[in-house]
Amino acid sequence: MTPPAKKLVVELDIPNKFSGVGLDVGTSNLVASRVTEKGDEIELSRNAFLYVREDDVTKELLTRMNIPQHKVNGKTCVLGRNAFDFSNYFDRRTQRSMNIGVINPLEREAIHVINMIVQKMLWKPRVPNEICSFSLPAEPVDSMIDITYHKNVIETMLSCFGYEPIAINEAFAVILSELKDQKFTGVGISCGGGMVNVCIAYTSIVIAEFSIARGGDWIDQHAANAIDISVNKILIAKEKGMSILAPQTREEESIAIYYKQYIRYFLEQIAKVLHMPDKGARFEEPVDMVFAGGSSLVGGFIDVVRKELKSVDLGIKINEARMASQPFYSVSKGCLLNAQMASK
């Protein structure tokens, strides 16, 4: 379920808001945004693909369904949302160019695929080397994932498209887009498909940034395994809209259980990091904690977070745990703001 985007511009003193592009490079979704004289422009795509059979029946079916076919290393595939829909019809799992926040090492053509998806959704640069600020996960605290390779791949890709790439921490992008009134002081959390990214900042100075290698994909997989159904069915149940406070079906029950587990886990990880001597913060006043990202969209998410926060000692006082004004677009919006401010 993709909510409609509202206004993108964060009211700041930006020298040229018509320059710069924001790109949220998420494990499940890619969101690009920019501002033009005509208004805000947003492009989004599922970060997924699916190899299909080369036979005439499949080709005819795809043509009839108006689904474009692409060639990757000689093999036919469908991209983005189409891959997601097509896989649902046949109860197959989509293939993913990214996994746990970075380029998927198990997919040989991952870079080729993500290049095609991004090229399709991204506009031509308005000026040579227009800045494109893209989201990057932080190093995880509970896994050995390295982000260097991923960062270089995205930078190279954007450079090839004629942009000047600038990486920005995914959770800091949430702070940029949502904590302007708090002078960019507080906690930004991006709950993506692959990981949870956390950033704690004081007047835009980063105190700590890290990620937790558990995201929406983890919930889907575990909820599916628990009741022995396919991940697609879990995704369909989530897409229909549900509340983890009042699950109605067996699938929803399983999703709710793993969502609560996921929330408890990432709050505990945050507490663990904030109690490290070099990562803690001593804010003079309680600060806001803002959540964004596709995995935070499920009904009842923020209520469970607030409840769990009562039993976790984060080491900092939270004034309010709240959802971002546009959780799905928040990271892209923060990236855009970064690009606009970096454009001279």
Partner 1 sequence: MDREIKSLDIGTMHLISASISKDHKVRFKKLRNAFLRVQVEASMTQFLKNEEMQYAEIGRDLYALGESAFKTAGITAKPISRPMQDGVLNPKEKRAEVILKILIEALVGKAEGPGAICYYSVPAEPFQRESRLVYHSEIIHAILEGLGYRATAVNEGLAVVYSGLSEQRFTGIGISCGCGLLNVCLSHKGQIIDAFSIDRAGDWIDDNAAKAIGELPHQIRSVKEGGVNLLAPQGRVENAVAIYYKDLIAHAVECLKARLAASGKLAVFKDPVSMVCAGGTALPSGFISLLRTAVRKARLPLKIDQVGLAKDPLYAIARGCLIGAVNNSGISLGNSSSKTRRAACRPKKPVKSARSKRAPSRKAPLKRKKPHR
Footprint of partner 1 (CB under 8 A):
12-13, 133, 166, 168, 172, 183-184, 202-207, 209, 277-284, 337-339, 341-342
Nearer to partner 1, 117 or 336 (CB): 336
Measuring CA to CA, how many Å separate 19 from each of 39, 41, 64, 85, 202? 13, 12, 39, 34, 27
Q: How far is the CB of 282 from partner 1 (least distance, A)?
A: 6
Nearer to partner 1, 279 or 306 (CB): 279
Is residue 107 classed exposed, middle or buried when 0-12, 13-18 and 19+ CB atoms within 10 A define those classes? middle
Q: How far is the CB of 328 from partner 1 (least distance, A)?
A: 22
**What is the token pair recorded at 327?**
């959780």
Nearer to partner 1, 312 or 342 (CB): 342
Q: How far is the CB of 183 from partner 1 (least distance, A)?
A: 7
Nearer to partner 1, 117 or 199 (CB): 199
Q: How far is the CB of 292 from partner 1 (least distance, A)?
A: 17
Measuring CA to CA, how many Å separate 178 from each of 172, 264, 288, 295? 10, 23, 10, 17
Nearer to partner 1, 173 or 298 (CB): 173
Q: How far is the CB of 276 from partner 1 (least distance, A)?
A: 10
Determine how many CB atoms are found less than 10 A away from the CB of residue 242. 22
Q: How far is the CB of 203 from partner 1 (least distance, A)?
A: 6
Nearer to partner 1, 304 or 341 (CB): 341
Determine how many CB atoms are found less than 10 A away from the CB of residue 15. 9
Nearer to partner 1, 13 or 313 (CB): 13
Q: Residues 6 or more apart from 247 whose CB is under 8 A from it?
A: 253, 255, 256
Q: How far is the CB of 189 from partner 1 (least distance, A)?
A: 18
